Amino acid sequence: LNFYHSKKKRNIHSSFFFSTELRTLGMWYRQLMGESIGKKLNLDGNEVRNGITPVVSIGSTDLHSMGQLYFGGPNDKFTNIITVTRGGYHKVPYNALLPGLVKNIEGKTLNEIMEAVAKGTIETYRKLELPFVHIELENMIEYEIGYYLQFRMMEMMYLAKLMNVNAFDQPQVELYKEETSKVLENGV
Q: Is 177 a catalytic residue?
A: yes
Given the residues 35, 106, 112, 144, select the one marked as catalytic: 35
Given the residues 177, 178, 182, 185, select the one marked as catalytic: 177
Arithmetic mean of pLDDT, 117-135: 97
Given the residues 47, 64, 127, 129, select the one marked as catalytic: 64
Read off the DSSP letter of residue 22: G
Q: Is 90 a catalytic residue?
A: no
Query: What does DSSP say about strands 132-137 and 47-50: parallel, antiparallel, or unpaired?
Result: unpaired
Q: Burial code of 110-143, b = ≥16 C-beta within 10 A, e = fewer?
A: ebebbbeebeebbeebeeeeeebebeebeeeeee
pLDDT in tens, 134-161: 999 988 889 999 999 999 999 999 999 9
Q: Is the pTM of this model over 0.85?
A: yes
Counting Cα atoms < 13 Å in the Cβ hemisphere of 141 gives 5
